[in-house]
C-alpha cells in the first residue's frame, strides 16, 4: 500500500447454510372419520436459515380409488399466510398449516405431501 511492496495475507473462513424447514409434529396421522366428514389438524412449519423472503407451496397427493377414479381428499390452509419472513433478529417466523382430509369414498393412504419453497427446496 502507498508504494510499499509488503504482502498481506488474508484468510477467510465461512459456512454455507442451506435453507431448510422442519415440522412439528414430524409426521401426521389423521383419525379415521365417517364418509364425507372432514378431519383436520394443525402443524407448525419451522423455517431455518432463510436469508430472504420465500413462499411455501404444497404438492398434495392424488389417490386412485378401486374404480379407477382419482381424487384429492386433502386440503391445506395457511391462516397467517405462507410467506417465510426474516425477522429483525435474523430468525424466521414459524408458519401454521392446517391439513384437512375429506372423502366420500372409503380410502386409506400412507404417503408424502411435499412442501416446497420458491427455489424448489
Q: Are strands 57-59 and 63-64 parallel, antiparallel or unpaired?
A: unpaired
20-116: what CATH class? mainly beta
* Whole-number pLDDT of residue 4: 67
Question: In sequence order, which residues have a C-beta less than 8 Å from that of residue 79 and are 6 or more positions away?
Answer: 96, 98
Q: Where are the domains of the chain?
A: 20-116
Taking 70 as the threshold, does the pLDDT of residue 75 lie above it?
A: yes
Where is mean pLDDT largest: 62-66, 68-72, 98-102? 98-102
pLDDT tens digits along 28-58:
888 889 999 999 999 999 999 888 889 999 9
Cell of 51: 436469508
pLDDT class for 120, splitting at 50, 70, 90? confident
Q: Mean pLDDT over all residues of the chain? A: 88
> Model-level pTM greater than 0.75?
yes
pLDDT tens digits along 84-111:
988 878 789 999 999 999 999 888 888 8
Amino acid at each position: 500500500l502507498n508504494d510499499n511492496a509488503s504482502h498481506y495475507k488474508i484468510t477467510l473462513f465461512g459456512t454455507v447454510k442451506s435453507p431448510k424447514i422442519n415440522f412439528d409434529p414430524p409426521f401426521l396421522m389423521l383419525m379415521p372419520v365417517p364418509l364425507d366428514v372432514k378431519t383436520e389438524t394443525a402443524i407448525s412449519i419451522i423455517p431455518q436459515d432463510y436469508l430472504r423472503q420465500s413462499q411455501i407451496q404444497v404438492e398434495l397427493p392424488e389417490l386412485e380409488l378401486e374404480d379407477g377414479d382419482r381424487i384429492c381428499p386433502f386440503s391445506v390452509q395457511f391462516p397467517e399466510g405462507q410467506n417465510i419472513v426474516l425477522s429483525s433478529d435474523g430468525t424466521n417466523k414459524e408458519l401454521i398449516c392446517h391439513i384437512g382430509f375429506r372423502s366420500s369414498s372409503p380410502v386409506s393412504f400412507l404417503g408424502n405431501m411435499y412442501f416446497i419453497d420458491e427455489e424448489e427446496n
